[in-house]
Chain A
Amino acid sequence: MGEVTPWWGLFAVPALLVAFALSAVVCDAALSARDAGRPITMGMPVRPLLEVPRLLVAQSRRLPASDVPLWRIGVITVPVAAVLAVLVVPVGNTAVADLAVGVVWFNAMEVLTWAGLWLAGWGPNAVFSLIGGYRFLAQGLAYELPLMFALMTPAIGAESLRVGDIVAAQGRLWFVVWMPLAFVVYLAGVLAFSFFGCFAYPTGRDIAGGLLGEASGADRLLLSAGRWLLLAAGSAMAVPLFLGGGSGPVLPAWTWSVIKTLAVLALLVWVRRRLPLIRADRYVEFAWVVVLPLSILQAFVPALVVLNSR
């Protein structure tokens, strides 16, 4: 457990992450075609990908007195954070870096989006995009603590912050079985840090797209891609944390990692169309009054189990 990939892992893992994100985009397009009653043809799910060349050649919109350096830093941070976060996620038994503090690393890289998205909102010098940035921070204050406890729970159960050890500790029983609440809170956190689905409030229609409103061309591509990459990164991390990593019958370990990641990703994409948008001000109270105490109680369970087994 916990082998390190050779140097090409540094390129293979981001490529795999992009592949996961693309499959999520395709899945989402197919679902939206089905919901709209359009026939699902071969070309239909690929249509959103045509945006990529269009955005690459599109003329960038520039607003007066925009803070271009900060805007660029913010936009680039979002996809970069997603890629950095998955460096500790093992595919099968090998990860690019099996850090001793892997869980904290993942958390820290995911938190980089706080700064990134706020800057992406600040940079254009436009009201609605700035409101989008503020909304993300307001939402972040509510989702981050439950998410941290949800990340902590499997680490307590495995008595280690190393992702490899967490996978190894699930030899007999997957953590999702006796930490279901942490799993649900974690998945909600993934939706929230990807500002996706019911947590897409920072890009709300009521503020004309908010964070994405003023972004055009490559900026827009990086922001929207970063969003899907974050979603894929969160799904990939759910597998070693709660779903036993690469363990499974017959097939090699890496196949199970990929299959489980795709399953979580599909679940999140499906959930997106089933839940309404949550306003941050309503979510804040719910998060602090209900979700946070519950996730602390959930973290208490493995703590007692671990103490009891000593």
Chain B
Amino acid sequence: MALVVVASFWVLGVLALVSGGLVFRFTSMARATIALLTSLICVGGEVVLLGLPYLGVVTILMMVMEMAIMAVFMIAYMMNPAGLTPMSMLHNKGGSLAVSGTVFVALAAGIFLVPWPRRAGSPPPDTTFQVGESLMGAQMLTMIVLGFALLATIVGAIVLSTRRGRYDRFGDDLDRRPPRDPAGGGVGR
């Protein structure tokens, strides 16, 4: 069993690195997105192997949704709207190479230089419960503040980016019925 885990760890690790590297080889936004998605799914698999099944599977779940949506937006905002003309994913080659090389060397050196502690005790039987407890227990206040901050950011961004407000739809006195809504909705407005 341990052998299978170690083997999958290496397979997933190599796959994650290779597909991560492929992101910068592909000239198509769709392919680059899917390569990045593959890399992130492999990372999710690694998290599962590390004994955190909830976090690993949630990573896969969120990343698939996120990358699918991101593909749409990236292609929509590309220089040619159809997104079919090849383009390079490499920008500021020298600078990014220096930054990524430094970060890689620092992290890799850290692996060998940090005095890793010996494992004390055994892993908890249910890590999902542990994650929930630490998020909803000691870090409850942080989570609430983060939640509100995120929601406020989303609402704020939409308010700032949309041209239409309630006065456009409901008139200056907010009494226009039905509202002048260019996009019809599903609840009869």
Residues in chain A within 8 A of chain B (CB atoms) = 65, 67, 69-70, 73, 99-101, 104-105, 107-108, 111-112, 114-115, 118-119, 122, 125, 134, 137, 140-141, 144, 161, 278, 281-287, 289-290
A104 & B58 in contact (Cβ 8 Å cutoff): yes
Contact mask for chain B residues 80-113; partner A; CB cutoff 8 A; 1 contact, 0 none: 0000100000000000000000000000000000
- In the assembled complex, the Cα of A107 lies from the Cα of B57 at a distance in Å of 9
Shortest A274–chain B CB gap in Å is 18
CA distance A309 to B64 in the complex (A): 37
CB distance from A194 to the nearest CB of B (A): 17
| Interface contact B37-A100, CB-CB below 8 Å | no
Whether the pair A99, B61 counts as a contact (CB closer than 8 A) is no
Which residue of the partner chain A has the closest CB to B30?
A: A122
Find the B residue at minimum CB distance from A290. Answer: B187
| A70-B68 in contact (CB<8A) | no
- Residue B168 CB within 8 A of the other chain: no
Interchain CB contact under 8 A, A111 and B65: yes
Interface centre among A105, A144, A284 (most CB of B within 10 A): A105
Q: Are A161 and B128 also in contact (CB < 8 A) when A104-B61, A285-B187 are? A: yes
* Complex CA–CA separation, A141 to B73 (angstroms): 14
Determine if A67 and B57 form an interchain contact, defined as CB atoms under 8 angstroms apart. Answer: no
Residue pair B61, A137 in contact (C-beta under 8 Å): no
6 A–B pairs (Cβ distance < 8 Å), ordered by A: A70-B34, A101-B54, A107-B61, A108-B61, A112-B64, A278-B186
Instruction: Contact check, B68 vs A282: say whether CB atoms are below 8 A apart.
Output: no
How many contacting A-B pairs (Cβ < 8 A)? 82
Please give, as numbers and ranges, the residues of chain B lying within 8 Å of A282 by CB-CB distance: 184-186
Q: Which of B30, B68, B128 has the most CB of A within 10 A?
A: B68
Q: Is the CB of B84 within 8 A of A125?
A: yes
Residues of chain A lying within 8 A (CB to CB) of residue B187: 285-286, 289-290
Cβ of B74 < 8 Å from any Cβ of A?
A: no
Contact status A134-B72, CB under 8 Å: yes
User: B13 within 8 Å of A by Cβ?
Assistant: no
B183 within 8 A of A: yes
A100 and B53 in contact (CB under 8 A), knowing A67-B30, A284-B186, A285-B187? yes
Q: Are A108 and B64 in contact (CB under 8 A)?
A: yes
Residues in A whose Cβ lies below 8 Å from that of B126: 100
B65 touching A105 by the CB < 8 A rule?
no
The reply to whether A137 and B53 contact each other, CB–CB distance below 8 Å, is no
Additional pairs, 15, CB under 8 Å, beyond known A285-B189, A289-B187: A65-B84, A100-B126, A101-B57, A101-B128, A107-B61, A108-B64, A111-B61, A111-B65, A114-B65, A119-B34, A122-B30, A137-B69, A285-B186, A286-B186, A290-B186
Which residue from A65, A114, A119, A140 sits with its C-beta under 8 Å from B30? A119
Q: Which residue on chain A has the smallest CB distance to residue B58?
A: A104
Q: Which residues of A contact B64 (CB under 8 A)?
A: 108, 111-112, 114-115
Give the shortest distance, in Å, between B85 (CB) and chain A (any CB). Answer: 11
State which residues 121-136 of B face A: CB under 8 Å.
Answer: 126, 128
- Smallest beta-carbon distance B1→chain A, Å: 14
| Distance (whole angstroms) from the CB of B74 to the closest CB of chain A | 12
Contact between chains at B34 and A285 (CB < 8 Å): no
CA distance A100 to B105 in the complex (A): 37
Residue B16 at the A interface, CB < 8 A?
no
Q: B28, B72, B185, B186 — which one has the most chain A CB atoms within 10 A of its CB?
A: B186
Given the complex of chains A and B, what is the CA–CA distance between A290 and B187 in angstroms? 8
What's the least CB distance linking B61 to chain A, in Å?
4
**B176 interface residue, CB < 8 Å from A?**
no
Residues of B within 8 A of A70 (CB): 30-31, 34
CB-CB under 8 A from A101, the residues of chain B are: 53-54, 57, 128
Contact string, B29-66, partner A, CB cutoff 8 A, digits 1/0? 01100100100000000000000011001101100110
Closest residue of chain B to A74 (Cβ to Cβ) is: B34
A141 vs chain B, min Cβ distance (A): 7
Q: When chains A and B are docked, how far (Å) is the Cα of A283 from the Cα of B186?
A: 6
